[in-house]
């Protein structure tokens, strides 16, 4: 048993309280490898932004859970080395799907876990979430739960259709489970294809898809029922069209990829939404940079020469999200 406190990590409790009161959101960035982690820490240290490092089940399988945990521990020291005196870094399990997985993360030094039982019937979601909360709280590890179902497909996370969160359920759910934050479904979804073309209109000038707006009415209803309670948005990548264009111009094929407009996320961050999950945008930044190098310099075979530019591009992206979308810069001085 390792406590996250010994690793210099923090849980989400204070962070979320301040974010809800301050009208900003904490970035939750997924990481699977060293370059992504370096870029996240560089951007967070430079902007003095609190940050949540997210590890999915897929990331654990890809990179090895022990290695990821030590990388997060190293990230705290790296942040200090970069001049961030008091780094506020959370190590969070993203989309935990069983009690055993959540327990294993708590036991190995995670400071926060998500139990995603949103696909189960309501009472089963409550029972499993409560079981995780009861265990995690013994070690002061915070727990995110989910109500409502996001559409979209990821390696380990999939749902054909979305079902908006039902505001009439949230008080009962939060009270009976004791969860610390709640992920809700208001129209976001995972991946780079968040909406089908038939759900969108097209900008006549650019020909690009314009997605339907998020269900802010559902968000406001939830906020009314649970004033000040930390709300989380998954599936919040914006799918920057400049990356899609670079990828497509250098041999890729991402037709009609579309995300959540950043103004809507900025709007959400001013409300009780205090954690915004971004993974796909970092994948796009990395892929765009790597494809460009491969296309322009076909003789290049030193990984540092293509992963280095990818890291720089991801850092730029993370800084932009922190400063211009989430508003979390300077909140962890």
Where does this chain bind ligand G3H (CB under 6 A)?
30, 56, 58-59, 94-95, 154-157, 190, 279
Q: Confirm or reject binding of residue 275 to Zn ion (CB under 5 A).
A: no
What are the start-end ranges of the E strands in 75-171? 89-96, 112-115, 142-147, 152-153, 158-159
Which span (84-92, 96-104, 230-238, 239-247) binds Zn ion, by CB under 5 A? 230-238
SS3 content of the chain, % helix, strand, coil (to 5): 50, 15, 35
Q: Confirm or reject binding of residue 286 to ligand 13P (CB under 6 A).
A: no
> For residue 10, how many C-alpha atoms fall within 13 Å in the half-sphere facing its CB?
13
- In angstroms, give the least distance from the CB of 175 to ligand G3H: 27
The residue among 108, 135, 260 whose CA lies nearest residue 192 is 260
- In angstroms, give the least distance from the CB of 279 to ligand G3H: 3
- In angstroms, give the least distance from the CB of 186 to ligand G3H: 16
Residue 55 is classified by DSSP as E
Annotated active-site residue 94? The verdict is: yes
146, interface contact from Zn ion, ligand 13P, ligand G3H, none, CB < 5-8 Å by kind: none
In angstroms, rounded to a whole number, what is the distance separating the alpha carbons of residues 47 and 19? 16
Which span (103-111, 209-217, 229-237, 307-315) binds ligand 13P, by CB under 6 A? 229-237
Tell me the per-residue interface mask from 233 to 252 with Zn ion, x by CB under 5 A, - otherwise.
Answer: -x------------------
In angstroms, rounded to a whole number, what is the distance separating the alpha carbons of residues 313 and 311? 5
Which span (9-17, 229-237, 287-295, 302-310) binds Zn ion, by CB under 5 A? 229-237
Interface residue with ligand 13P among 96, 230, 235, 327 (CB under 6 A) is: 235
What are the start-end ranges of the E strands in the chain? 26-30, 51-56, 89-96, 112-115, 142-147, 152-153, 158-159, 181-184, 201-202, 209-210, 231-233, 273-278
Which one from 94, 97, 279, 281 is the annotated catalytic residue? Answer: 94
Q: Closer to ligand G3H at the Cβ: 157 or 307? A: 157
The residue among 241, 239, 222, 238 whose CA lies nearest residue 230 is 222
- Write out the catalytic residue numbers: 94
Catalog residues that contact ligand 13P under the rule CB under 6 A: 30, 94-95, 190-191, 234-237, 277-280
Catalog residues that contact Zn ion under the rule CB under 5 A: 234
């Amino acid at each position: 048993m390792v406590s996250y406190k010994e690793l210099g990590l923090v849980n989400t409790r204070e962070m979320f309280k301040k974010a809800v009161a301050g009208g900003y959101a904490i970035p939750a960035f997924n990481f699977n490898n060293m370059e992504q982690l370096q870029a996240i820490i560089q951007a967070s240290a430079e902007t003095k932004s609190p940050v949540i490092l997210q590890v999915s089940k897929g990331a654990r399988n890809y990179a090895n859970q022990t290695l990821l945990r030590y990388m997060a521990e190293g990230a705290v020291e790296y942040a200090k080395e970069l001049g961030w005196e008091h780094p506020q870094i959370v190590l969070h399990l993203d989309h935990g799907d069983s009690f055993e997985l959540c327990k294993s993360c708590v036991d190995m030094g995670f400071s926060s876990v998500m139990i995603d039982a949103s696909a189960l019937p309501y009472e089963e979601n409550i029972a499993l979430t409560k079981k995780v909360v009861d265990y995690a709280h013994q070690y002061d590890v915070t727990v995110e739960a989910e109500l409502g179902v996001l559409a979209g497909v990821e390696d380990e996370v999939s749902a054909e259709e979305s079902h908006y969160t039902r505001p009439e359920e949230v008080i009962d759910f939060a009270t009976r489970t004791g969860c610390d934050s709640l992920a809700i479904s208001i129209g976001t979804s995972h991946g780079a294809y968040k909406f089908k073309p038939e759900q969108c209109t097209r900008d006549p000038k650019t020909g690009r898809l314009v997605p339907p707006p998020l269900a802010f009415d559902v968000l406001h209803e939830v906020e009314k029922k649970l004033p000040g309670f930390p709300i989380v948005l998954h599936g919040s990548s914006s799918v920057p069209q400049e990356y899609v264009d670079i990828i497509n111009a250098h041999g890729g094929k991402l037709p009609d990829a579309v995300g959540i407009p950043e103004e809507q996320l900025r709007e959400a961050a001013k409300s009780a939404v205090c954690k915004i999950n971004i993974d796909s945008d970092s994948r796009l930044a990395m892929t765009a940079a790597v494809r460009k190098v491969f296309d322009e310099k076909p003789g290049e075979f030193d990984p540092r020469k293509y992963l280095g530019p990818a890291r720089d591009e991801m850092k730029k992206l993370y800084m932009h999200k922190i400063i211009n979308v989430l508003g979390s810069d300077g909140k962890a001085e």
